[in-house]
Amino acid sequence: MKKNNGIVISGIAAISAVVILGLAGCSTTAGIEATGKAAWDEQGARILEKNVVFNSIGLKWDLQILDLRSVLVGNIMKVQATLRSKDKDTLSFQYRFEWYDAGGLEINSGAGSWKPVMLNGSETKNIQAVAPDQRAKEFKLEIREPDK
């Protein structure tokens, strides 16, 4: 009897460990979040306030955001991020852009799909996106490790 209980408990613990490890392997949150917000300087020139947050130590050491830019094409915001691999090997990740209005409310919530990217060792690449409409005044670039 004791062996059976031990096996059942060990089996439950093993299943729990597999589920926890499986969830950890799935990338559900962004490892890097880079935000941009349109603002204006004292002379009235448009500037982009930028902020980068690293939620993943692995991506922090492997990927660098060299630049974030935005322009208005008509009344629509277009953004570009310049990314560089700091790794010697091929680096795979996924990204998506989310868009916000002047009040910080998300536009087209959940509409952005994750897009795959591969960078070879020390490669630099630009990724771009266009806002869904003219309400977009802010954006967030989310980067995560690919689903395993």
- What CATH number corresponds to the domain at position 130? 2.60.40.3230
75-100 pLDDT per residue, tens: 999 999 999 999 999 999 999 999 99
Same-domain status, 11 and 45: no
Same-domain status, 1 and 39: no
Same-domain status, 8 and 44: no
pLDDT of the residue at 90: 93
17-28 pLDDT per residue, tens: 333 333 333 445
Expressed as residue numbers, the domain containing 5 is 1-30
pLDDT of the residue at 3: 45
Q: Give the count of domains, the chain.
A: 2
Same-domain status, 17 and 56: no
Mean pLDDT of the chain: 79
98 and 112 Cβ atoms separated by less than 8 Å: yes
Same-domain status, 25 and 35: no
Same-domain status, 54 and 115: yes
Same-domain status, 43 and 75: yes
pTM over 0.85: no
pLDDT of the residue at 5: 43
Same-domain status, 12 and 41: no
Structure tokens at 18: 């597999």
Give the span between the Cα atoms of 3 and 14, in whole angstroms: 16
Same-domain status, 76 and 6: no
Q: Does the pLDDT value for residue 7 go beyond 70? A: no
Same-domain status, 59 and 90: yes
CA distances from 100 to 20, 78, 139 (A): 33, 13, 6
pLDDT of the residue at 55: 86
Same-domain status, 54 and 116: yes
